[in-house]
Amino acid sequence: MTLRRRLYLAGLAAVLAGPVLAQTVDIRISGADADDLRPRLENASLTASLPAQEDVAAQDYVAAARADYQRILTGLYGAGYYGGTISIQIDGREASGIQPLDAPRNINSIIISVTPGPQFTFGTAQVGPLPDGALPPDRFASGEVASAAVIQDAARSAVTSWREAGYALAAPSGQQITANHPASELDATVTIAPGAQLRFGQTTITGNEAVRTERVAEIAGVPEGRVFSPYELTRVQTRLRRTGTFRSVAIIEPDVAGPNATLPLEIQVVEEAPRRIGFGAEYSTLDGATLSAFWLHRNLLGGAERFRVEGEASGIAGGTGGIDYRVGLSFGRPATIHPEVDLLATATLQRLDEPDYLLDQFSVDVGLTQYRTERLTYGAGIGFVTAREETPQRTREYTLVTIPITGEYDYRDDPLNPNSGFYVNLDIRPFFGLEGAENGARLFADSRFYRSFGTDDRVTLAARFQLGSILSASASSAPADYLFYAGGGGTVRGQSYQALGIELEQDFGNGPVTVRTGGTSFAGAQLEARVDVTQSIGVVGFYDIGVVSDQEFPTGDDEFVSGAGFGLRYNTGIGPIRFDVATPANGDDVGERVEFYIGIGQSF
């Protein structure tokens, strides 16, 4: 038969079969374990998924039913049933005897009958050899349910243990599986060939076009000559991806060892477009609108250096003073001194038109950031600040040298929409007055905790605690933007922006005056209950509280403000869109004033 004739007959059969006019798919499972098996077998069956689809032809049902024998059998093996029988009848005919091109024009019913038989347990369960201290999974033991997946897990676990010990080419070399049907037992023995312990060998870089090969190698930081470690491979990928310069990173391991018991590697990278432009907008009825934009170059000098120019205007049409402006430049160089150390230099020119002061400031910071683990980051640097600060009572100029020290531990499952874990950030900034200011230090700690529960973890409790302090400097001598206020987004929603500060009596040379300013310490808490109504929509209830003091740390006698409200969340691919409505929870205007806040991402 010619190819043309075969194609003609196949097309004719498809036309004659046409769409199925009516059908039901019924899965019948016998035995006491039917209810436990049903979800597993329904998920395994292709046929069971077809009625929900449109324009399904008869051949599709026949093909799916013929494939289901193996798929359902695999599902039974996965649950420890090795003596089962399967019958799939299409309008009374066994599906295995129907060819797809011989499919009937219409199908009325498909009955999948499964008799699982007894559930097997392990008789003998052995995997090895294993490196010192390694153990097989607990479920791979005599008397446990003999799931095929458990045997696979035991083999993978053994290979992983050998690889973690430096045996990069470890692999299963054989298996012996025997089903003892009278005893309903499965004897399973898996043999592992660990091979030789290897060291990292020569690394080859491919796929890079604009980034220099030697710089890719420096950033990757493969420790050539050291004993092989899968963890090191993970760190290599993390370091390259962290730069933001590469769209994808793949590490290719060979199937055979290299010379002198080494493992040569090939790192394949695909570069991102070098330039990027971004815009942002946020609005609060109290703070007004915030507009921001940036231009980014991901590979400024050919070594994955990041150069960013950004600008922001905030407080537009708001009730928080005037409009604030900020223009910033930043330069980041990965793998400086060490593959896990990045250099970051920033320069910022800004004007802050706040209710209590007007500040024009220029600052420069240069620092190093150490990525200790994937979750722990810390850094230190040196900075220079010069500013002009104007208040109703005085105008002063000052110059500072700062030593910013930061630490961050991020154990959240998702930074934009966390459901579990915690986050801790610590910022310590000693400052030394060269002119117009005293010496001191600013401390600020921010911690966040998340826990989910309920069906599909649809309820999340979130808590944020903040603590700040100015040491060895008074409120009148410390830089105004280092002081602490409470009120507004980020501290206490519902309260006016910087609603809570402190009042001091000061003498600037013309007699004592009462000055309103920020405090030298702050403590705050934000508590939220987040509930997912659907996969896309969620609701939030929250309560915020904050206290400001003129001491180095707040006390129970200091004044506080609080706010409460509710919000909506709409989940998108880049994080939830946030809409919060809040009102003061203490003071004279409880429930009388309402503020709302719009942004992207959870409030914390």
The sheet with strand 246-252 has its strands ordered as 199-206, 262-271, 246-252
Place of tokens 């919000």: 567
Which of 10, 94, 93 has its CA nearest to residue 57? Answer: 10
246 C-beta neighbours (distance < 10 Å), count? 24
Judge contact between 487 and 277, C-beta under 8 A. no
Residue type, 583: T
So what CATH class is 372-600?
mainly beta
d(CA 490, CA 497): 10
Which of 300, 268, 284, 360 has its CA nearest to residue 579? Answer: 284
Q: In a 10 Å sphere around its CB, with 0-12 CB exposed, 13-18 middle and 19+ buried, how is residue 53 labelled?
A: exposed
The dihedrals phi and psi of 39, each to the nearest 5 degrees, come to -60, -40
Residues written for the chain: 604
Place of tokens 């592992």: 192
As a whole number of Å, the end-to-end CA separation of the chain is 70
Q: What tokens does 44 get?
A: 């395994």
Alpha-carbon distances, residue 284 vs 227, 320, 592 (angstroms): 55, 11, 17
> Would strands 185-193 and 575-584 be described as parallel, antiparallel, or unpaired?
unpaired
Q: How many Cα atoms sit within 13 Å of 208 on the Cβ side?
A: 22
pLDDT value at position 362? 98
At residue 465's C-alpha, the angle toward residues 464 and 470, to 5°, is: 140
pLDDT value at position 522? 97
For residue 339, how far is the Cα from the chain centroid? 23
E strand or H helix at 66: helix 58-78
Q: Is the pTM of this model over 0.85?
A: no
Does 206-353 match 372-600 in CATH topology?
Answer: no
Say what angle helices 58-78 and 34-44 make with each other, to 10 degrees.
130
Q: Which parts of the chain register pLDDT below 70?
A: 1-23, 507-509
DSSP string for 13-64: HHHHH-B-S--EEEEEE-STTHHHHHHHHHHH-SGGGGGGSSS-BHHHHHHH
Which of 542, 539, 540 has its CA nearest to residue 563? Answer: 542
Q: How many Cα atoms sit within 13 Å of 157 on the Cβ side?
A: 19
Place of tokens 């153990």: 135
Q: What tokens does 600 get?
A: 């992207």
Q: How far is it between the farthest Cα atoms of the chain?
A: 111
> Would strands 121-128 and 185-193 be described as parallel, antiparallel, or unpaired?
parallel
Q: What tokens does 151 get?
A: 């045997």
d(CA 84, CA 184): 12
Judge contact between 79 and 119, C-beta under 8 A. yes
d(CA 162, CA 177): 23
Judge contact between 265 and 253, C-beta under 8 A. yes
Q: Which residues contact 55 (CB under 8 A, 6 or more apart)?
A: 19
Which of 501, 479, 499 has its CA nearest to residue 433? Answer: 479
Looking at CATH, the fold of the domain delimited by 206-353 is given as Ubiquitin-like (UB roll) (3.10.20)
Say what angle helices 58-78 and 148-164 make with each other, to 10 degrees.
70
Alpha-carbon distances, residue 426 vs 208, 462, 517, 564 (angstroms): 37, 19, 24, 27
pLDDT value at position 210? 96
Number of H helices, E strands in the chain: 6, 29
Would you kindly state where each structural domain of the chain is located, as residue ranges? 3-115, 121-193, 206-353, 372-600
Based on its alpha-carbon atoms, the radius of gyration of the chain, rounded to whole angstroms, reads: 33
